């Protein structure tokens, strides 16, 4: 018997029809590597075993690991008793991979930042998580939920909410509604800007989302009005029109990915001017 552990954020899905819907939403090629995060008692693992995939399970809870191995001893080579946030994914899958799982509510955002670190290898993600977080990830610019993960994940993935799951489908029932989402890697290999600065810019302005960008970005640029008046350049060498700097008078939730790229390039030009 596996006892749900509050400190691990465990709420075990008990509805097998929902489990199958989650697994069916995973679009993969034959023999693909699929990493399941937090299999718990294996309600997703069972239908995954039936698919033509190379399955890797990452589970932190020793009690769950022992349960899974008793039920499916053939999983011993692919069952890793570690924390997904700390495991070396290069050692588990040498090729690009898919991710699936019922993500623990207490670390779901951290899981997505880890996925972003591996964005060049992650083909798709199908997962269940707290609907509030799902809304943040899939919301468009201008919405109240739109935030850091909306922009960063939206830069590299097509995001969609598939369906919601009520608390009664879990044991113990969580106090919130859950949602199943799917992320599919888009065609963007590299953003046309400094990607590390893009991440820093997005995080900085959203951490002060009530302010205009001109004010919130001061932690990156000590003096936005300092330096030369040199305009930022596009890759072809042409100057960015001055009116595009109107982005500084807007708030972060109003900007889409393309506008954050332009903002990042403007910030980069100012940083270069000050050197």
Same-domain pairing of 164 and 216: no
Same-domain pairing of 94 and 145: yes
- 61 part of a folded domain: yes
Dihedral sign for Cα atoms in the order 112, 118, 120, 125: negative
Straight-line distance from the first to the last Cα atom of the chain, in angstroms, rounded to the nearest whole number: 62
- 123-142: pLDDT as tens digits: 999 999 999 999 999 999 99
Same-domain pairing of 148 and 203: no
Q: Is the predicted pLDDT of residue 232 greater than 70, yes or no?
A: no
- 173-202: pLDDT as tens digits: 999 999 999 999 999 999 999 999 999 999
Q: What is the CATH number of the domain that holds 217?
A: 1.10.8
- 15-29: pLDDT as tens digits: 999 999 999 999 999
Domain boundary among 132, 153, 185: 185
Which pair of structure tokens corresponds to residue 75? 């999983």
Same-domain pairing of 200 and 130: no
133: Cβ contacts below 8 Å, ≥ 6 apart: 105, 108, 109, 149
pLDDT at residue 239 in the model: 54
Domain boundary among 125, 153, 185: 185
> Do the bridges between strand 97-102 and strand 170-171 make them parallel or antiparallel, or are there none, so unpaired?
unpaired
Which pair of structure tokens corresponds to residue 48? 């995954």
Crossing angle between the packed helical segments 108-117 and 131-138, to the nearest 10 degrees:
40
Confidence of residue 242 (pLDDT cuts 50, 70, 90): very low
pLDDT at residue 219 in the model: 83
Q: Is the predicted pLDDT of residue 244 greater than 50, yes or no?
A: no
Dihedral sign for Cα atoms in the order 97, 101, 107, 109: positive
pLDDT at residue 225 in the model: 45
- Total count of domains within the chain: 2
Range of the domain at 231: 195-273
Q: Which residues pair with 171 in a beta bridge?
A: 12
- 41 part of a folded domain: yes
Same-domain pairing of 109 and 232: no
- 190 part of a folded domain: no
Q: Which residue has the tokens 């349960």?
A: 67
pLDDT at residue 230 in the model: 42
pLDDT at residue 231 in the model: 44
Domain boundary among 185, 217, 244: 185
Residue 198 or 275, more confident = 198
Which pair of structure tokens corresponds to residue 208? 């002060």
Confidence of residue 9 (pLDDT cuts 50, 70, 90): confident
Same-domain pairing of 45 and 131: yes
- The answer to whether residues 59 and 79 touch, using CB atoms and an 8 Å cutoff, is yes
- The answer to whether residues 41 and 13 touch, using CB atoms and an 8 Å cutoff, is no
Instruction: State the DSSP string of 17-73.
Output: HHHHHHHHT----TTEEEEEE--TTTTTHHHHHTSSEEEEEE---HHHHHHHHHH-G
Same-domain pairing of 68 and 38: yes
Q: Which residues pair with 114 in a beta bridge?
A: none
pLDDT at residue 202 in the model: 97
Same-domain pairing of 20 and 151: yes
**Least confident range of 4-8, 135-139, 210-214, 245-249:** 4-8
Q: What is the CATH number of the domain that holds 31?
A: 3.40.50.150
The rounded Cα 254 to chain-centroid distance in angstroms is 20
Which pair of structure tokens corresponds to residue 26? 């995973």
Same-domain pairing of 178 and 51: yes
- 1 part of a folded domain: no
> Do the bridges between strand 178-185 and strand 157-165 make them parallel or antiparallel, or are there none, so unpaired?
antiparallel
Same-domain pairing of 232 and 158: no
The rounded Cα 82 to chain-centroid distance in angstroms is 20
Residue 98 DSSP code: E
Q: Is the predicted pLDDT of residue 257 greater than 50, yes or no?
A: yes
- Number of C-alpha atoms within 13 angstroms, CB side, residue 15? 13
- 33-88: pLDDT as tens digits: 999 999 999 999 999 999 999 999 999 999 999 999 999 999 999 999 999 999 99
Smallest Cα–Cα separation from 50: which of 73, 20, 71, 29?
Answer: 20
Same-domain pairing of 23 and 74: yes
pLDDT at residue 235 in the model: 55
Same-domain pairing of 30 and 100: yes
Smallest Cα–Cα separation from 216: which of 250, 193, 242?
Answer: 250
- 238 part of a folded domain: yes
């Amino acid at each position: 018997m596996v006892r749900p552990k509050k400190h691990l954020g465990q709420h075990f899905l008990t509805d097998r029809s929902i489990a199958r819907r989650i697994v069916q939403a995973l679009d993969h090629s034959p023999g693909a590597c699929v990493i399941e995060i937090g299999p718990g008692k294996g309600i997703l693992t069972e239908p995954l075993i039936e698919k033509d995939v190379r399955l890797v399970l990452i589970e932190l809870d020793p009690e769950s690991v022992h349960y899974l191995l008793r039920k499916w001893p053939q999983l011993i080579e692919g069952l890793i008793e570690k924390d997904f946030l700390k495991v070396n994914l290069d050692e588990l899958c040498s090729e690009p991979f898919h991710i699936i799982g019922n993500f623990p509510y207490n670390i779901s955002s951290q899981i997505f930042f880890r996925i972003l670190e591996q964005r060049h290898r992650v083909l798709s993600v199908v997962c269940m998580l707290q609907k509030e977080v799902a809304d943040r990830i899939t919301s468009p610019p201008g919405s109240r939920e739109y935030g850091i993960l909306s922009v960063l994940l939206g830069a590299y993935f097509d995001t969609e909410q598939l369906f919601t799951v009520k608390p009664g489908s879990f044991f113990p029932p969580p106090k919130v509604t859950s949602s199943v989402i799917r992320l599919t890697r888009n065609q963007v290999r590299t953003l046309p800007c400094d990607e590390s600065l893009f991440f820093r810019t997005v995080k900085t302005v959203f951490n002060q989302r009530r302010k205009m960008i001109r004010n919130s970005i001061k932690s990156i640029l000590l003096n936005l009005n300092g330096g030369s008046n040199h305009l930022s350049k596009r890759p072809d060498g042409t100057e960015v029109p001055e009116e595009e700097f109107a982005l500084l008078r807007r708030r972060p939730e109003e900007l889409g990915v393309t506008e954050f790229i332009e903002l990042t390039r403007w910030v980069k030009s100012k940083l270069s001017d000050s050197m």
